[in-house]
C-alpha cells in the first residue's frame, strides 16, 4: 500500500514539474516574440524619422512591414475570443439556472 502512494506521489510531482516547464517555455517564447516585434517597430520608426517622414518612405515602409501587424492581432485575438465566449456561456448558464428554478 505504501509503495502505491509513493508511486502516485512521484507521478504527480513529475507531472507538476512538466507543467511548470511548459509554462516557462511558453512565457519565454512570448517574451522573445514581443521583443522582436518591439525591435521591429522601433527600427521602422527610426527609418521613417531618418527619411524625414516623406510619403514615399511611408509607403515603402508600409509595403514591407504590414504583415508584422499579425503578431499583435494573433496575440490579442485568442484571449479576446476566450473572454467573449466565456461571457456568452455564463449568460446562457444563468438563463438555464433561472429557468430551472422558475416554478409556475
Statement: residue 88 has pLDDT above 90: yes
Distance, CA of 12 to chain centre: 27
61-82 pLDDT per residue, tens:
888 888 888 878 888 898 899 9
Taken in order 56, 59, 63, 67, the sign of the CA dihedral is: positive
Statement: residue 12 has pLDDT above 80: no
**How many Cβ atoms are within 10 Å of 7's Cβ, its own excluded?**
10
19-71 pLDDT per residue, tens:
788 878 888 888 888 898 899 889 888 988 898 888 888 888 888 888 888 87
> What are the residue boundaries of the structural domains of the chain, listed by start?
2-101
The answer, as to whether pTM is greater than 0.75, is no
Amino acid at each position: 500500500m505504501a509503495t502505491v502512494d509513493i508511486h502516485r506521489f512521484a507521478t504527480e510531482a513529475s507531472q507538476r514539474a512538466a507543467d511548470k516547464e511548459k509554462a516557462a517555455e511558453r512565457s519565454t517564447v512570448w517574451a522573445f516574440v514581443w521583443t522582436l516585434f518591439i525591435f521591429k517597430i522601433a527600427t521602422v520608426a527610426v527609418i521613417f524619422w531618418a527619411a524625414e517622414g516623406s510619403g514615399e518612405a511611408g509607403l515603402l515602409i508600409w509595403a514591407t512591414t504590414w504583415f508584422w501587424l499579425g503578431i499583435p492581432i494573433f496575440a490579442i485575438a485568442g484571449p479576446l475570443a476566450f473572454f467573449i465566449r466565456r461571457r456568452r456561456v455564463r449568460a446562457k448558464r444563468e438563463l438555464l439556472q433561472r429557468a430551472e428554478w422558475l416554478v409556475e
